Amino acid sequence: MSRSIDYFFSVISPWAFLGHAPFLALAARHEARVNMRPVLLGELFAETGGLPLAKRHPARQRYRLVELKRWREARGIELNVKPSHWPFDPKLADRLIIAAQIAGQEVGPLAQRLMSGVWQREENLADPATLAAVLEELALPADLLDAAGQDRTAIIYQANHDAAIEADVFGSPAYVLDGEVFWGQDRIELLDAALSSGRAPFTP
């Protein structure tokens, strides 16, 4: 029987970008269904005790840069650790993924392209014109951008936040399998092991 994984993330997260392709490949290998659930990280941090980057101790900020460089090398992908248009308001870009889901589009490639826009291409994803260009590039309907700004996507975005809180998710990316949270792209191998073994979920 196919298993299901809830995938909580935001395009603003470099860790989600680092893990996106490996995670989707893992899910495909296990024939697991992926429920992509974009969330607004600022609100998630605020509710679960996390701090935005600018408010973290300088030692933590420096260590983050080192870790990004380590994982960039480990994953073998290009990643600009200090992109020009970051931080930015990710709501419209995140909700564009939701709009594509509603329309029945395959959203994995869209999420990948949006995250690449931030972390590789120096694009401003808070700019609607940039998002429109991404849709055109991927041959996706232009009206998805209008849909991303509508109430329906806002309601789902909030529902994703509520589901994240309920599941004990507090950061991006988080992969939730049978109620067990795997936080961070460096937990993909542990998720792989859990799927391979078929073990019962670990609980606190």
What is the tens place of the pLDDT at every residue in 172-202? 999 999 999 999 999 999 999 999 999 999 9
Q: How many CB atoms lie within 10 A of CB 108?
A: 18
Q: What is the pTM of this model?
A: 0.96
Give the sign of the dihedral formed by CA 82, CA 112, CA 188, CA 159. Answer: positive
What residue ranges define each of the domains in the chain, with the CATH number in brackets?
Answer: 4-197 (3.40.30.10)
Question: Which of 85, 91, 117 minimizes the C-alpha distance to 38?
Answer: 91
Mean pLDDT of 41-67: 95
What is the tens place of the pLDDT at every residue in 74-119? 999 999 999 999 999 999 999 999 999 999 999 999 999 999 999 9
Three-class SS of residue 183? strand
**What does the pLDDT read at residue 1?**
65
Question: Which of 197, 204, 161, 160 minimizes the C-alpha distance to 180?
Answer: 204
Helix (H) or strand (E) holding 176: strand 174-177
Mean pLDDT of 13-27: 98
4-9 and 33-38 as β-strands: parallel, antiparallel, unpaired?
Answer: parallel
Three-class SS of residue 174? strand
Q: Which residues contact 147 (CB under 8 A, 6 or more apart)?
A: 99, 102, 103, 153
**What does the pLDDT read at residue 2?**
80
Residues in a beta bridge with 183: 174
